[in-house]
Structure 1
Amino acid sequence: MNESMTLMQAKAETQELERSIVDAFPSDQVAAVEQRQEGVLLSCSDDQYQWTGGVEFTLAGDLSERDVAERVVGALESKDGWSSEVQDWKDGGPTAIVSGPQGLSFIGNLDADRLVTIASASRCFTLSEDQSPFSKY
């Protein structure tokens, strides 16, 4: 667990990694990007939390579902301490699953409307006394 990381540092790191996933796609194939600016907290333990967010972008190119999942995996797989794989989900097609240190994670796939959705969760951290686990950040 990361006792020294703050909520805002965890959020900033996670959003930066989300953008690096988008940047793994050719810019001429990304038609629109929407990154969530607010997220909610999930509990890691009794006193540790994760910020959850995500990014969505529309593809103009003709990449397949598998190509998209493999590109999401490829955007982060070379980092030390990370694991990643493409799983074939029964109802959702190929899905990228990427796990980093201290709970950091990303799940992404492409839908029929060419929308790539990446859900994310930050490293686990401790809230400061003036922050509520029930607020949006």
Structure 2
Amino acid sequence: MTLKRTICVALSAIVSAMLLGACGTNGGNVENNLTWQDAKSDAQTTELEIASLIPKEQVASIDQRAEGTLLSCDAERHQWAGGTALVLVDGTDAATIVTVLADAFRDSEEFAIEEYTDMRERRNFQLITHDGEESYIVGPSVDPGVIDISSGSACFTLPRVFTQAASSDRWIPARSIV
């Protein structure tokens, strides 16, 4: 991996984490009974629902990451952040597909849509549930012919199987849990 590509990937991950981490901090409609497993499952299901809007003949493969990252929503709650990469068939224009996907959500009753241009001047959009709890960022990857869908689940309270780090307010999850 070239240094330029490494920097682009790192910056994209940081921007995605900042955008996703900003969601869910308004309190939203807190589901006290939402488990991290359900939050992760719901986010991954929505990633695949977004991906399913692309005609199958334009998608070579779908790579949904099994593991994700925990981000803080507030002092008590967290959200699961994950993602799916859609590898497009050769000759399929990622920018056109992103536009088609954004158009599919313009009149959504479930999501508000915010569009923006990334640092490489590519069109992206973010879907945010009306309660502000879940977020999905869709845009071209740094890899040509790939579309990334980054997700941030609804917020949940971690179970006590997570341990608090010594001399810190951070929770340390058992890696196999997330």
TM-score by length of 2: 0.68
Whole-angstrom distance in 2 between the partners of 1:14 and 1:78: 20
2:134 aligned to 95, 104, 110, which one?
A: 104
Question: In the alignment, residue 89 of structure 1 is paired with which amino acid?
Answer: D
- 1:30 paired residue number: 59
- 2:93 paired residue number: 63
Aligned-residue offset at 1:75: 5.0
Deviations 1:64-110 (A, max 9, x none): 51x22233334555543420132223424100111113421111112
- 2:160 paired residue number: 129
- Give runs of ≥4 in structure 1 deviating > 6 Å: none
Deviations 1:19-69 (A, max 9, x none): 00110000111001110111110000111000010000111152351x222
Question: In the alignment, residue 114 of structure 1 is paired with which amino acid?
Answer: G
Counterpart check, 1:118 vs 2:149: yes
Whole-angstrom distance in 1 between the partners of 2:135 and 2:99: 16
Higher RCO, 1 vs 2 (CA within 8 Å, ≥6 residues apart): 1
Answer whether contact 2:135 2:152 (CA < 8 A) is retained.
yes
> Would you tell me which structure has more strand in proportion to its own residues?
1
Whole-angstrom distance in 2 between the partners of 1:89 and 1:74: 18
1:18 aligned to 44, 47, 50, which one?
A: 47
Counterpart check, 1:41 vs 2:70: yes
Question: In the alignment, residue 93 of structure 1 is paired with which amino acid?
Answer: R
Whole-angstrom distance in 2 between the partners of 1:14 and 1:76: 17
Whole-angstrom distance in 1 between the partners of 2:159 and 2:107: 32
Answer whether contact 2:125 2:137 (CA < 8 A) is retained.
yes
2:113 aligned to 66, 73, 84, which one?
A: 84
C-alpha RMSD of matched pairs (Å): 2.0
Secondary structure of 2:74's counterpart equals: coil
Whole-angstrom distance in 2 between the partners of 1:5 and 1:73: 28
Answer whether contact 1:7 1:127 (CA < 8 A) is retained.
yes
Which consecutive unaligned segments of at least 5 residues does structure 1 have? none
Answer whether contact 1:30 1:57 (CA < 8 A) is retained.
yes
Aligned-residue offset at 1:113: 1.2
Q: Sequence identity, in percent?
A: 26
- When structure 1 is superposed on structure 2, of 94-103 and 31-40 the one drifting more is 94-103
